[in-house]
Chains A and B, each alone.
Chain A
C-alpha cells in the first residue's frame, strides 16, 4: 500500500468533508435542535445541486445560483413542514414523502436528465476539486471554510435572538413552548425551512466542487449528516460546549468522516460498500449512549441491592 497515495487524497477528503459539513449543520438544526429526524435532505441536497448546475450552465453568476438553491431548499422544507403540521403526518414520513417527490422535481429541474455536467473550463464556478492541491486562494478549502465560519456566525446570532430561543424551546419542550405563547407549528416549519435551505446550499457547493449534479448525489445524505453530527459530538463534544462550538464540532465530524472513508478505501474496501459501512458506523454510534445508560441503570440497581 502506497502511503503517498493516501496523503495525496487527503486534501480532497478535507474539502469534501467541509462541504458535507455545511449539510450536516443543516441536519443538526432538525435532529438536535428541533428533535426531528428530517429525511427531506436526501432530496433537497440534490435539488440544491440541480438548481446550481442548471443555473450555472445557463450562464448565471454562481453566487446567484447558490442563493437560489438555498431558497428552493427552503421551499422543500416548507412542504415537509406543512405535511407535518397542517396535515398531521409524522415528521419522518413527511420527510420521506417530500424526498420522493423531489426525485421527480430534480429530474424536471435538470430537464429530464439524471445528471448535468458543470465543466470548469466553460463556466465560472466558486469551487472546484481541480484546485484542491494548490497553494492559492482558489483552493476550495479556503472558500468553503470561510462559508462555514459565516454560516456558523449567522446561526449563532439567529439562535440567540428572541425567535431563535423560541425555536430551541420548541424542540426542547413543545408543551412548555406553547404555554409560553410560542406557535410551535410555525416554529417547526421555519426550522425545517432553514435546515433544508442550508442543505440545498451545501448541494449547490458540492455540484460545483465535483463538476456535476446527479439525482442520486445525495442518496443516504441524512445518514452522512447524522454521522457527522454524532462523530463531532463524540470526538470534540467535551472540548466545545457552546452553541457555536457544537456547530464547529459538526463540521469537524464531517471532515473526520471523509478522512476515515478515504482511509478505508485506501485499505482496499470496495467503493460500493461505503454506504453499508456508513450505516453500520452510525448505528453503532447511536447505540452507544443507549447501552451506556442501560449499563448505568444496572450498576445503580446492583449498588442499591447491595446496601
Chain B
C-alpha cells in the first residue's frame, strides 16, 4: 500500500542550520498494516510522515501509494490518498468554522469542489450526527458550534473522524495523543484502533509512548538519524516488552535512546 523507497531530505542545505533529517529511509507497508514508529529526538519520524504527505519536496528516492508514484505531487493532490491527524490539536481543524463545516470539508477530501453546489446537505448532516454519536462526547448536539470552543481531546477525536470520513488509502498519525492528558490520550487511541479495524485501514502512527507502540498496531519500526533501523513484525512484537525494545535500539544504533518525552513506564 505504501512504498517509501530510500528517501533523503536535508533542510537548509549549505547553511549554518543545515540538518540531515532523512537519509536513505526505506519502508514498505502492506495493505492493512498498522505500524507504530518510535525513535529519539530528531530521528526523522515526523519528517518521514510529512514527506509522505508532501509538505516539502524530498531530495532523493520515491514515494508510492497504492501503486501510484506521488513523489512529484503537491500536498493538496496527495490529500486524496491520505487521512492525517497532527500532534497539535489546532492543526487538524479550522477553529473558526463549525463542527459540521469541518466535517463537510473532510468529506470532500480529494474531490472537485463546486462553486455552485451547497457546501453541506441535510442528508450529510444526519450522517455526521450518527458519526459524532459514536465518539460519545456529545458533539452531535453541538454541530453548529465553532471547533475553537472544543477541548484538545475533542478536537483530536473530531480530526480522527474527519480523516476517516472518506476512507483514506493511508492514515498518518503524527504523535496525535502527545498533547493530551493520559486519560484522554487512551480514549483517542482506542478510537483510533476502532476506526482502523472497522475500515481495514493502513496506518502509520508516530508515538513517544513505548507502551502504546507495543500495545497498538501489528508492526513497530524504530528510527535513528533519519533511517529505519529496526523493523519488528507481528509475531515478534507480541512477546516484546519495553526493555526489549530499548535493548534492541541500543544494540542497533550503538547509542542511548534520547527522547525527552519518551515514556518508559
Contacts and interface: CB of A to CB of B under 8 A. Distances in A.
B94 A169 contact: yes
A165 interface: yes
A158 interface: yes
Contacts of A172: 94-97
A179 B55 CA distance: 9
Interface residues of B, number: 34
B119 A162 contact: yes
Interface in B77-135: 77, 79-80, 82, 84, 86, 90-97, 101, 104-106, 108-111, 113-120
B185 to A, nearest CB: 21
B3 interface: no
Interface residues of A, number: 22
B76 interface: yes
B118 A161 contact: yes
Contacts of B231: none
A276 B82 CA distance: 51
B52 interface: no
Interface in A244-301: none
Given A175-B91, A180-B105, A163 B113 contact: yes
B109 A165 contact: no
A175 B86 CA distance: 10
B119 to A, nearest CB: 4
A182 B110 CA distance: 8
Binding site of B, secondary structure by majority: helix, strand, loop or mixed?
Answer: loop
A163 B119 CA distance: 7
B210 interface: no
Contacts of B95: 172-173
Contacts of B101: 165, 168
B119 A165 contact: yes
Given A169-B94, A172-B94, A176-B93, A183 B115 contact: no
Contacts of A178: 75-76, 79
Given A178-B75, A184-B76, A161 B91 contact: no
Contacts of A182: 76, 79, 105, 113
Given A160-B119, A172-B97, A166 B79 contact: no
16 contacts: A161-B117, A162-B114, A162-B115, A162-B118, A163-B113, A163-B115, A168-B94, A172-B97, A173-B93, A177-B94, A178-B76, A179-B79, A179-B92, A180-B105, A181-B108, A181-B109
Given A164-B115, A168-B97, A180-B108, 13 more contacts: A160-B120, A161-B118, A162-B108, A162-B118, A162-B119, A164-B119, A165-B113, A172-B95, A173-B90, A173-B94, A176-B92, A179-B79, A182-B105
Which 6 pairs between the two chains have the least Cβ-Cβ distance?
Answer: A181-B79, A172-B94, A165-B119, A162-B113, A163-B115, A173-B94
